[in-house]
């Protein structure tokens, strides 16, 4: 058997870029935002040669875009060591081989992998089979040129992604799915945390886990760990999980070198895979530890490996009883402390009452006796003074006694309450003591039961050892040996049954996949035959036409063969693919469809025949340009870039900027646009609620908005040549209404301005409603100046003057030519800036402009406006009539088809192009425009006043008076 070493396939270190991913468009569902968990984890891979050959720990990650299983050295690595093609692979394992070892055969290579145990191996095999089945079920189902295109990790959103004719998935028969489910192995959903993102923290780095063949890749990965990322953040592995609602990502910090808190967790899992219970009996530390059954029986086999003695369950009960007893004892100690506090308070109150009583008795004993004199006896003066003093003392003592007498009842009542509370606490204490006694009795019974069971187990184990030591004492040892052999046979039988189910399912799936491949091959042959037949027909028609043209024909002949041939050729050229022909697109191929990839009509029906022919020629040339080697190389660069960022989120970088300036491929545009918009509006979203957009829609439904009437009028005027907005029942009309109404409530200063509808409509082609709303916010409130879309359009007027300055600087000859013939090109360019070239250029160039615009901002509008004039500069210079120049200005942008040449002019020939220069020119012209607007307003007010005064003085003369 031959296994490839690390990097032995096409993505080794010698080829730093990953292979190309070709994905098909998947219909987007707005409500389904949950994704399957990431299939990743550690596996041992057999690699190396000679003395270095052996198993090495690798981090495996499944990529659904091309059904590849990438393997890295660590989860933090940016570049993989290699990959395994799961789409065309087959799997197998040997029951009698090493535990957890299985084999993957793909592309003529054999990969030997090893899981920690059989349970994890079954989980990996089941998941890989399912991923292969899902991937191959979506291959070759749609009307696309590529029949081997995988599905996207990030399905495109928006109206373009929801086109019904983009792709359709073949529904497998229910019987086949039932057979597959019958053959499926029984595996657990979470195999002990050994598979998934959480397993990235569980493995320690191995210092000898390296590959000499991939030394360069490992060195680059190591440097990426050491080099800090942009904005001061270190590089971290990024994986997406199913916890997020709209394709959310989860950051995982690189695991630290030591994990002391996780060691018990790993140790516990080490012994828990083969049994149903843990080995922790839950006994208290005070109880002496008994010798376990494993120690007693030694190395001898006792029963099945998956069965545990019942003492484990009893041990768990005892631990629960001890826990409850401990809680009761804690409560009892708290109550005793409260009782001591109450007793201390009671004694202090009793002492206070005793002191008050003693003070009362003392005051009564010390009260002086008052001797009243006889009525007739005279009273000496000294005695009168003494009696007056004594009466005052008596009055004071009586008042004091009355106050003390009033305190005595309250103190007595408080003592009674304390006495009652004391009695209640004593009763509660007695009840708790009774409960504690009952718990102690139950605990004693449980401990006795455990002790009895342990004794029985000890006796049985001793008997077993005695019988194994004395094999001549009867037939019981032979019976025991037969029982052991029977257990081994049962285990082997179960393993072979599982292997049989797995192999049956493998054979079934491989048979179905082979049949589907044969069907696709036959369909391709039929399509090739039909294309060859059509090509032969076209060539024959053109040969006949050439032959007839070479022969002189009388021009007055109305029924000449030339006219008939030319008319037939024109009919065939103007014929487009209709909706009823899409079901048999293979057998009726068309070079140009009725609608392009963005939903725009390729050949308008209401135009004249000459204009329709021009539209047909433009569509053919655009399709031929889209299939050039340069476009294919751009797609390959994007696939390699996204594959290299599989473990990380997108960040601003020179490489990403260069790729966006080349144009984003159709299948990745939804992802890139969504990231660009979130990057610009994050400062707004951080201070708003997550349901902010829904709240605005609720307000718009409850209360009318002044702009709602104008919005309704402009809905059907928005992109009428696009099928998503062509009729009131089209899918884009309702979404466009919601986005515009929500924005009118968010920005009441602008509300709604004609032009915003086309900006939102373009965004909705690739984004959902909420993302399109934030795109509108980014354009109006982030990119453009403040008064760009207000009633005065002040910002738009300023940009036109800035653009004139740039024209005189970058294109001086063309600017002088326009000035010589007094041509005001701002009448054409004003709409370019207001709606970012919507309805001004062909759709392929339009979306490439929007790619760079959403990433870099308004500077892109100036670049491409200058590039468009530069593209046709020589044609304009040949025109010497202002009427001809203006006529050419109205339609020259629709004749520019070569997007690569235009982008090269915009991003190379127009350099340098600093944004600071544009900002300075805007500030300069803003003051001038404001001054002019102020003067115009003053003139208007003066005119209104003069008109009012002149109207009062004016005298009207009738016709009769004029005749006289």
Of 223-237, 491-505, 540-554, which range is least confident?
223-237
> Which of residues 651 and 228 earns the better pLDDT score?
651
**Mean pLDDT of the region 733-761:** 93
Whether the per-residue pLDDT at 673 is higher than 90: the answer is yes
Whether the per-residue pLDDT at 577 is higher than 60: the answer is no
| Residues 6 or more apart whose Cβ sits within 8 Å of residue 34 | 242, 245
Instruction: Say which DSSP state 309 is in.
Output: -
The pLDDT assigned to 99 comes to: 87
453: left (phi over 0), alpha (psi -120 to 50) or beta: alpha
> Which of residues 756 and 514 earns the better pLDDT score?
756
Q: Of 733, 753, 783, which closes a domain?
A: 783
CATH number, domain containing residue 89: 2.30.29.30
The pLDDT assigned to 873 comes to: 93
Q: Is residue 725 part of a domain?
A: yes
| Residues 6 or more apart whose Cβ sits within 8 Å of residue 689 | 695
Same domain, 741 and 801: no
Same domain, 869 and 752: no
The pLDDT assigned to 718 comes to: 92
Q: Is residue 205 part of a domain?
A: no
Tell me the C-alpha distance between 214 and 674, whole Å. Answer: 36
Q: Which two tokens stand for residue 759?
A: 């900006």
Answer positive or negative: Cα dihedral of 58, 59, 61, 66. Answer: negative
Q: Which pairing describes strands 237-239 and 82-85: parallel, antiparallel, or unpaired?
A: unpaired
List alpha helices for 551-590, DSSP H. 561-574
| Residue 217: closest CA among 449, 7, 369 | 7
Q: Is residue 229 part of a domain?
A: no
The pLDDT assigned to 874 comes to: 94
The pLDDT assigned to 63 comes to: 87
> Which of residues 463 and 802 earns the better pLDDT score?
802
Domain total in the chain: 3
Are the C-beta atoms of residues 150 and 67 closer than 8 Å to each other?
Answer: yes
What residues does 110 pair with on adjacent strands? Answer: 3, 105
Instruction: With cut-offs at 50, 70 and 90, classify the pLDDT of residue 954.
Output: low
The pLDDT assigned to 266 comes to: 36
Q: Of 725, 754, 783, which closes a domain?
A: 783
pLDDT digits 0-9 by tens, 789-814: 988 889 999 999 999 999 999 999 99
Instruction: Say which DSSP state 373 is in.
Output: P
Q: Is residue 733 part of a domain?
A: yes
CATH number, domain containing residue 794: 1.10.472.80
Q: Is residue 394 part of a domain?
A: no
Same domain, 84 and 122: yes
pLDDT digits 0-9 by tens, 291-315: 443 343 344 433 334 334 443 444 4
Q: Is residue 102 part of a domain?
A: yes
The pLDDT assigned to 15 comes to: 38
Of 215-224, 585-594, 913-922, which range is least confident?
585-594
Same domain, 773 and 798: no
Same domain, 877 and 922: yes
The pLDDT assigned to 952 comes to: 59
**Mean pLDDT of the region 186-201:** 70
**Mean pLDDT of the region 535-554:** 57
Q: Is residue 806 part of a domain?
A: yes
Whether the per-residue pLDDT at 757 is higher than 50: the answer is yes
> What angle, rounded to 10 degrees, do the helices at 794-810 and 915-953 form?
130
Q: Is 257 exposed, middle or buried (0-12, 13-18, 19+ CB in 10 A)?
A: exposed
Tell me the C-alpha distance between 909 and 888, whole Å. Answer: 23
Same domain, 778 and 790: no
Q: Is residue 382 part of a domain?
A: no
Q: Three-state SS across 927-944?
A: HHHHHHHHHHHHHHHHHH
Whether the per-residue pLDDT at 882 is higher than 50: the answer is yes
> Which of residues 568 and 957 earns the better pLDDT score?
568
Whether the per-residue pLDDT at 708 is higher than 80: the answer is yes
Same domain, 852 and 878: yes
> Which of residues 430 and 511 earns the better pLDDT score?
430
Q: 183-197, 563-577, 909-923 — which one is most confidently predicted on average?
A: 909-923
Instruction: With cut-offs at 50, 70 and 90, classify the pLDDT of residue 29.
Output: very low
The pLDDT assigned to 42 comes to: 92
Q: Which two tokens stand for residue 584?
A: 């048999």
Instruction: With cut-offs at 50, 70 and 90, classify the pLDDT of residue 233.
Output: very low
- The full length of the chain comes to 964
Same domain, 810 and 932: yes
Mean pLDDT score across all residues of the chain: 75
> Which of residues 664 and 557 earns the better pLDDT score?
664
CATH number, domain containing residue 727: 1.10.8.270
Tell me the C-alpha distance between 188 and 207, whole Å. Answer: 32
Tell me the C-alpha distance between 847 and 761, whole Å. Answer: 13
Of 280-284, 384-388, 861-865, which range is least confident?
280-284
Are the C-beta atoms of residues 210 and 73 closer than 8 Å to each other?
Answer: yes
| Residue 537: closest CA among 566, 504, 572 | 572
| Residue 669: closest CA among 589, 591, 762, 745 | 762
Instruction: With cut-offs at 50, 70 and 90, classify the pLDDT of residue 778.
Output: very high
The pLDDT assigned to 635 comes to: 87
Are the C-beta atoms of residues 876 and 888 closer than 8 Å to each other?
Answer: yes
Whether the per-residue pLDDT at 573 is higher than 80: the answer is no
Q: 221-230, 517-526, 937-946 — which one is most confidently predicted on average?
A: 937-946
Q: How far is CA 939 from CA 612, 929, 942, in A?
A: 49, 15, 5
> Which of residues 728 and 148 earns the better pLDDT score?
728
Instruction: With cut-offs at 50, 70 and 90, classify the pLDDT of residue 696.
Output: very high
Tell me the C-alpha distance between 822 and 262, whole Å. Answer: 80
Q: Of 734, 749, 783, which closes a domain?
A: 783
| Residues 6 or more apart whose Cβ sits within 8 Å of residue 853 | 783, 836, 860, 861
Of 225-234, 674-683, 921-930, which range is least confident?
225-234
The 10 Å CB-count burial string (b at 16+, else e) for 870-886 is bbbeeebeebeeeeebb
> What angle, rounded to 10 degrees, do the helices at 561-574 and 476-550 form?
150
Whether the per-residue pLDDT at 24 is higher than 60: the answer is no
The pLDDT assigned to 384 comes to: 63
The proportion of the chain whose per-residue pLDDT surpasses 70, expressed as a percent, equals 66
**Mean pLDDT of the region 715-740:** 92
Q: Could you give the 3-state DSSP secondary structure of residue 57? A: strand
Tell me the C-alpha distance between 770 and 767, whole Å. Answer: 8
Q: Could you give the 3-state DSSP secondary structure of residue 235? A: coil
Same domain, 847 and 929: yes
Same domain, 681 and 804: no
| Residues 6 or more apart whose Cβ sits within 8 Å of residue 731 | 159, 162, 724
Are the C-beta atoms of residues 712 and 673 closer than 8 Å to each other?
Answer: no
The pLDDT assigned to 800 comes to: 94
Tell me the C-alpha distance between 340 and 350, whole Å. Answer: 15
pLDDT digits 0-9 by tens, 353-365: 888 778 777 766 6
Same domain, 738 and 817: no
φ, ψ (nearest 5 deg) of residue 115: -95, 165
List alpha helices for 205-310, DSSP H. 215-226, 263-270, 293-297
Whether the per-residue pLDDT at 271 is higher than 90: the answer is no
Whether the per-residue pLDDT at 599 is higher than 60: the answer is yes
Same domain, 799 and 917: yes
Whether the per-residue pLDDT at 445 is higher than 50: the answer is yes
| Residues 6 or more apart whose Cβ sits within 8 Å of residue 845 | 837, 896, 897, 899, 902
The pLDDT assigned to 37 comes to: 74
**Which domain covers residue 765, as residue numbers?**
677-783
Whether the per-residue pLDDT at 12 is higher than 80: the answer is no
The proportion of the chain whose per-residue pLDDT surpasses 90, expressed as a percent, equals 26
């Amino acid at each position: 058997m031959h296994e490839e070493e690390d990097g032995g396939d096409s993505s080794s270190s010698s080829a730093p870029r990953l292979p190309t991913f070709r994905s098909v468009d998947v219909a987007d569902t707005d409500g389904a935002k949950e994704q399957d968990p990431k299939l990743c984890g550690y596996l041992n891979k057999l690699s190396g040669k000679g003395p270095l050959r052996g198993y090495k720990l690798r981090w495996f990650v499944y990529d659904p875009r091309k059904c590849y299983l990438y393997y890295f050295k660590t989860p933090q690595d940016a570049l993989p060591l290699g990959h395994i093609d799961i789409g065309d692979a087959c799997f197998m394992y040997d029951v009698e081989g090493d535990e957890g070892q299985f084999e993957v055969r793909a592309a003529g290579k054999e990969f030997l992998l090893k899981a920690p145990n059989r349970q994890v191996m079954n989980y990996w095999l089941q998941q890989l089979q399912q991923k292969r089945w899902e991937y191959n079920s979506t291959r070759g189902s749609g009307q696309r040129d590529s029949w081997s295109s995988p599905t996207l990790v990030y399905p495109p959103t928006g109206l373009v992604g929801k086109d019904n004719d983009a792709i359709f998935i073949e529904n497998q028969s229910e019987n086949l799915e039932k057979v597959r489910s019958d053959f499926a192995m029984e595996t657990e959903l979470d195999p002990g945390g050994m598979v998934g993102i959480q397993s990235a923290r569980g493995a320690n780095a191995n210092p000898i886990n390296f590959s000499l063949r991939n030394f360069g890749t490992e060195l680059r990965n190591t440097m990426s760990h050491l080099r800090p990322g942009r904005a001061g953040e270190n590089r971290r592995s990024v994986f997406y999980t199913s916890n997020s609602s709209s394709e959310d990502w989860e950051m995982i910090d690189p695991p630290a070198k030591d994990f002391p808190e996780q060691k018990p967790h790993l140790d516990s899992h080490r012994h828990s895979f083969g049994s149903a219970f843990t080995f922790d009996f839950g006994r208290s530390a005070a109880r002496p530890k008994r010798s376990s059954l494993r120690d007693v029986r030694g190395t001898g086999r006792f029963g099945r490996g998956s069965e545990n003695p019942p003492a484990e369950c009893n041990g768990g009960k005892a631990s629960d009883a001890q826990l409850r007893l401990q809680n009761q004892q804690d409560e009892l100690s708290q109550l005793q402390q409260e009782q001591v506090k109450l007793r201390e308070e009671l004694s202090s109150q009793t002492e206070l009452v005793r002191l008050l009583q003693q003070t009362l008795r003392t005051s009564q004993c010390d009260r002086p006796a008052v001797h009243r004199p006889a009525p007739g006896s005279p009273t000496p003066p000294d005695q009168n003074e003494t009696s007056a003093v004594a009466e005052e003392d008596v009055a004071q003592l009586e008042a004091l006694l009355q106050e003390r007498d009033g305190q005595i009842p309250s103190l007595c009542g408080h003592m009674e309450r304390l006495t009652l509370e004391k009695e209640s606490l004593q009763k509660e204490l007695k009840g708790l003591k009774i409960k504690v006694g009952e718990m102690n009795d139950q605990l004693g019974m449980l401990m006795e039961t455990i002790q009895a069971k342990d004794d029985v187990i000890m006796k049985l184990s001793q008997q077993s050892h005695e019988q194994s030591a004395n094999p001549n004492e009867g037939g019981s040892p032979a019976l025991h040996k037969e029982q052991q052999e029977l257990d081994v046979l049962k285990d082997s039988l179960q393993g072979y049954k599982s292997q049989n189910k797995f192999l049956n399912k493998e054979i079934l799936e491989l048979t179905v996949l082979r049949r589907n491949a044969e069907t696709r091959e036959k369909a391709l042959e039929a399509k090739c035959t039909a294309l060859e037949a059509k090509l032969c027909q076209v060539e024959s028609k053109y040969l006949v036409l050439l032959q007839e043209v070479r022969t002189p024909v009388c021009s007055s002949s109305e029924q000449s063969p030339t006219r008939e041939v030319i008319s037939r050729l024109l009919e065939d050229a103007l014929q487009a693919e209709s909706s009823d022909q899409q079901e048999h697109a293979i057998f009726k191929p068309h070079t140009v469809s009725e609608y392009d990839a963005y939903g725009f009509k390729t050949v308008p029906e209401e135009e004249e025949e000459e204009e329709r022919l021009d539209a047909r020629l433009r569509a053919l040339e655009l399709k031929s340009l889209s299939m050039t080697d340069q476009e294919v190389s751009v797609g390959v660069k994007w696939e390699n870039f996204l594959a290299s960022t599989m473990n990380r989120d997108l960040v601003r970088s020179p490489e990403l900027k260069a790729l966006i300036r080349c144009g984003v491929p159709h299948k990745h545009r939804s992802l890139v646009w969504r990231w660009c918009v979130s990057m610009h509006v994050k400062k707004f979203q951080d201070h708003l609620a997550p349901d902010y957009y829904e709240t605005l829609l609720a307000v718009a439904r409850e209360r009318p908005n002044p702009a709602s009437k104008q919005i309704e009028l402009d809905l059907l005027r928005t992109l009428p040549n696009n099928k998503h907005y062509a009729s009131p029942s089209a899918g884009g009309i309702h979404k466009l209404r919601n986005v515009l109404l929500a924005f009118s409530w968010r920005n009441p200063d602008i509300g709604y301005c004609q032009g915003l509808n086309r900006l939102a409509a373009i965004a909705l082609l690739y984004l959902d409603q909420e993302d399109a709303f934030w795109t509108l916010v980014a354009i109006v409130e982030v990119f453009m100046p403040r008064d760009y879309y207000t009633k005065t359009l002040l910002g738009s007027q300023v940009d036109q003057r800035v653009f004139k300055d740039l024209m005189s600087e970058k294109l001086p000859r063309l600017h002088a030519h326009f000035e010589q013939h007094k041509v005001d090109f701002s009448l054409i360019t004003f709409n370019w800036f207001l709606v970012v070239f919507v309805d001004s250029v062909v759709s392929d160039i339009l979306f490439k402009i929007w790619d760079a615009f959403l990433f870099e901002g308004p500077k892109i509008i100036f670049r491409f406006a200058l590039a468009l004039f530069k593209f046709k500069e020589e044609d304009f210079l040949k025109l010497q009539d202002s009427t001809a120049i203006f006529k050419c200005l109205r339609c020259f942008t629709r004749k520019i088809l070569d997007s690569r040449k235009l982008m090269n002019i915009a991003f190379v020939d127009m350099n340098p192009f600093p944004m600071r220069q544009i900002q300075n020119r805007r500030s300069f012209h803003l003051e001038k425009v404001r001054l002019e607007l102020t003067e115009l307003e003053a003139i208007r007010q003066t005119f209104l006043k003069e008109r009012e005064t002149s109207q009062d003085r004016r005298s009207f003369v009738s016709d009769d008076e004029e005749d006289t």
